[in-house]
Amino acid sequence: MIRLTSYLAGSWFAGSGRHVPLVDPSTEEVIAEASSEGADFAAALEHARNVGGPALRALSFADRAALLKDMAKILHAHREELLDLAQKNGGNTRGDAKFDVDGAIGTLAAYATFGEALAKRVGDRRFLTDGDMFPLTRSPRFVGQHVWVPRTGVAVHINAFNFPAWGTFEKAAVALLAGIPIITKPATATALVTWRMTQVLVESGRMPAGSFQLVVGSTGDLLSRLGPQDHLAFTGSNATGAMLRGTAGFAEKSVRVTVEADSLNAAVAGPDVEPGSDLWNTLVRNIVTDMTQKTGQKCTAVRRVFVPAAHADALQEALVDALANVVVGNPLQDGVTMGPVSTASQLRDALAGIRALAAHATIVTGGAERLDGRGAPEGKGFYVAPTVLRAASATDAGPVHDLEVFGPVVTLLPYDGTASVAAELVALGQGSLVTSAYSDDRAWVETFVLGAAPSLGRLLLLSSKVADQATAPGMVLPALVHGGPGRAGGGEELGGERGLLFYMQRTALQGDSAVIGKLFAAPVPTAS
């Protein structure tokens, strides 16, 4: 059995005491164990702040971009091994494993590209300007200029169980490009992939000392030791995010926190989308993809489907027909297209959630009972059927706007087709990461966007012109911000260069234009 270790203060550390088992969710076989008991988190933080931070801040943006590019290459060289581990510990189909592992590698590569472009603008500078220099008095000599500089603390990243690769390295890519050292903590249940990726990077010798540390197991007293220059980025439940925000000392020390939490994402069909049209087929395909990819265990997966009442029967029939072709089972078996959820507790929560929704809506396919998956031992594995429910009313649907069932589950909600009503219904989710809207009616789209956007982090607008070109709603892109207001956590990650600002301090400079203009003014663009 594999015993996972943490990488702290430049050494691998084997925890003592009780070890937490990691299992194959397809068979419930124990495949590894982990503990961080006895870890010296004070030493880890000191190593990050005093060794990793200075090493990263000494690098230019071009140097940091080169680091990210090399990290992507190193991990890609181990891609096949990582995909195998993702299938074993995550219950992923091979396609789902690629979604996670390739997402991690691709985001590192994307941020390398962003860093290269940034370096072309700022040269060897290790800070960014915010706007132009401007006079503060009648004298043109006394001016102001805003700059962004890397903070001198550490970034603690706490990641969810569903994306042990992508979740880890999308956060890491941004922090490293900003010049901030990282202590990352994956969810223990699915930490095998993160652990191996860390091993590969450490063994390569490419990572600057202190720049990247790993905790496998409990964080102990780590969070209580964070200070005013430090950062916490968390992905997980809203309840846990609220608990972390309330960590002792965070308010007094102004520890910077960003949270990505629960999200009742929606898909909205406009009244002009006719059954059988290309746009309709895209709607159906995207819903089925979001339900079955990663077994619906994506923070961006659709949970609520708003469809004009006149087309509700047709959409129900189309989804039932498409989901009838989904084969649930052990992803290592030929023909299986959807694996289990990741843990026993996730299975319990998903089935309980379906039952709660079913008290106010009708199950039209699937159900709230555990399945025996194809190729799995009888009675073993965390399998749940892809499930569609239908409510009679979009507004009187019980917990559908409050309860996120983190699995392959959606609820159909008929509405009157009005854009303003659709926007109000989406907003009942109290803040979401993403919503997709399907329509060729520009007036409908404009009204819907202006009404729905305040409650959304991202809005995918699909028309007939881009139906066959667009990414699926659940695909998070490095160039766009990832996060959402309200119950979605109120945070933002990624977004190209925007993501760097979470790890930097904006400081207003006042002084002599000759000094500020020479040292800190925005660089003058040069002809390419």
Question: Among the options 29, 33, 37, 260, which is catalytic?
Answer: 260
369 is catalytic: no
Angle between helical axes of 94-122 and 166-178 (0-180°, round to 10): 10
Token pair for 401: 């706007």
What does the chain come to in residues? Answer: 528
Q: Is the dihedral of CA 399, 400, 405, 411 positive or negative?
A: positive
Give the Å distances, CA to CA, from 220 to 49, 168, 169, 217, 253: 19, 19, 23, 9, 19
SS (H, E, C) 505-522: EEEEEEEEHHHHHHHCCC
Positions of E strands within 273-335: 302-308
Hey, what amino acid is at 285?
R
Task: Give yes or no for a contact between 155 and 181, defined as CB atoms under 8 angstroms apart.
Answer: yes
Contact (Cβ atoms closer than 8 angstroms) between residue 349 and residue 262: no
Distance CA 235, CA 228 (A): 21
The Cα–Cα gap between 528 and 314 comes to 54
**Phi, psi angles (nearest 5°) of residue 445:** -60, -45
Find the catalytic residue in 33, 170, 299, 404. Answer: 299
Residues 6+ apart with CB under 8 A from 213: 6, 7, 8, 9, 44, 47, 48, 52, 181, 182, 183, 184
Measured CA to CA, the distance from residue 16 to residue 183 in angstroms comes to 20
Q: CA-CA distance, 421 to 495, in Å (whole number)?
A: 30
Q: Which tokens sit at 498?
A: 């925007």
Which two structure tokens, joined as six digits, stand for 83? 């995909």
> Strand 231-235 relative to strand 11-13: parallel, antiparallel, unpaired?
unpaired
Find all residues with CB under 8 Å of 278, minimum gap 6, and list them: 464, 467, 468
For 139-211, strand residue ranges (E) read 142-150, 155-158, 182-185
Cα distances from 61 to residues 67, 73, 115, 150, in angstroms, run 10, 18, 6, 11
446 tagged catalytic = no
103's enclosing H/E stretch is helix 94-122
Task: Please tell me whether residue 138 adopts helix, strand or coil conformation.
Answer: coil
Type of residue found at 451: G
Alpha-carbon distance 251 to 44, whole Å?
23
**Residues with catalytic annotation?**
260, 299
